[in-house]
Amino acid sequence: MHYMNFFITPRPFLHYSGSKSKMGFLFRVMFLSLYLFSHQTKAEHYNNASSSTGRKLASGCNFFRGKWVYDASYPLYDSSSCPFIDPEFNCQKYGRPDKLYQKYRWQPFSCDLPRFNGLKFLERLKGKKIMFVGDSLSLNMWESLACMIHAWLPNAKTTVTWRGIIGSVTFEDYGVELLLYRTPYLVDMVDEKVGRVLKLDSIRNGNAWKGMDMLIFNTWHWWTHTGSNQPWDYIQVGTKMKKDMNRLIAYYEGMTTWARWVNRNVDPSKTKVFLQGISPTHYLGREWGKPTKSCYGEKQPFFGKRYPAGTPPAAIVVNKVLSRVKKPVYLLDVMTLSQYRKDAHPTLYSGERSGLDCSHWCLPGLPDTWNQLLYAALIS
């Protein structure tokens, strides 16, 4: 069998809307909750207390509850001066006519989010290896962090390399290496005689993640792909091979395998582990109360007190899995603050890609805030 090197150029994701009715949504949530409550694999022996301790918010402040405010000093860098941005995220270069989306800063209700300092970041992490593991939203965040550091040290010596599905930006004077490991599901996808098999209980590729000083994991968007956008032919759980299954349950099974990998392979005294929360899409305007809209043409965030679409079921899975992880994992809970940013997508200004992209994010833009939250967790 051959373990697939999965490197796909980022493109707009197929939006998985599920039931269109509130009743259908509630049914899915109830079904998922019942499944999560009753289901526990034989290999699971989790300790809730240690997990919650590992995910405690820095300094007692909830950085993830707040609002977007206009800030004339933003953005933190100029896309034209950053050499690390892919065309898919370089919205200004490819014709986006407005810049207001770059001018919003996340303001927590109960404290201030530390402003990013690239020099302090490099000094704090001198000689360290930081790896983003996940899909093209990990790519989004990885390039954002490289740009944020570069803005502080524009003349710093850097080395950029690609080895298959592993990318690296090294700031040579500090020995800080930012790595990206491209994997859409975290679990393995294997090329076998029957076709491409997504193995929900296998992470053999995880050997490449060992030895890092910091790991930032992310996965969700590819779990919803169907039809020609689906990169696998079968799903395997244990010895059972299926053509398909409930995607939320599949996601839970895959994330449970990831949790076991963390428990077995991470030494908290040597490696900090982060999980990027669910990054939302904005294809359906009814999710923010505008049924005829999509992300195209949106120029301001959602300013309401509560996002109408509420919490997506995938976030329930994330919280359930994290409640069972024995090792400390810090949740970068970017879901709600990102739901408000219907204005921050590439839309049609995404390089040479065709179609509407309401999945990824322009750079500079929202992923810079994700990295500010990462920075705050490290220095607080």
Q: How far apart are CA 92 and CA 97, in angstroms?
A: 7
Active-site residue, from 221, 282, 345, 360: 360
Alpha-carbon distance of 348 to 343, in angstroms, equals 12
Say whether 357 is catalytic: yes
Cβ atoms within 10 Å of 237's Cβ, excluding its own: 18
DSSP states of 340-359 = T-TT-S-BT-STT--S-B-S
Catalytic position from the list 51, 79, 135, 136: 136
Q: Are strands 272-276 and 240-242 parallel, antiparallel or unpaired?
A: unpaired
At 253, list the tokens: 């099974």
Beta pairing, strands 176-182 & 129-134: parallel
Contact of 332 with 370, CB cutoff 8 Å: yes
Q: Which two tokens stand for residue 250?
A: 């599949």
Cis check: omega of the bond before 364, within 30 degrees of 0: yes
From the centroid of its chain, how far is CA 255? Answer: 14
**Per annotation, catalytic residue among 135, 333, 343, 357:** 357
| Distance between CA atoms of residues 241 and 237, nearest Å | 7
What is the rounded distance in angstroms from the CA atom of residue 80 to the CA atom of residue 240? 50
Nearest to 360 by CA among 3, 4, 11, 2: 11
User: How far is the C-alpha of 53 from the C-alpha of 73, rounded, in Å?
Assistant: 36
Closest of 279, 224, 219, 278 to residue 246, by C-alpha: 224
- Beta-carbon-side half-sphere exposure of residue 142 (alpha carbons within 13 Å): 30
What's the CA gap between 377 and 182, in Å, rounded?
24
Contact present, 335 and 319 (Cβ < 8 Å): no
The encoded tokens of residue 242 equal 């299926």
Active site residue 201: no
Residues with active-site annotation: 136, 357, 360
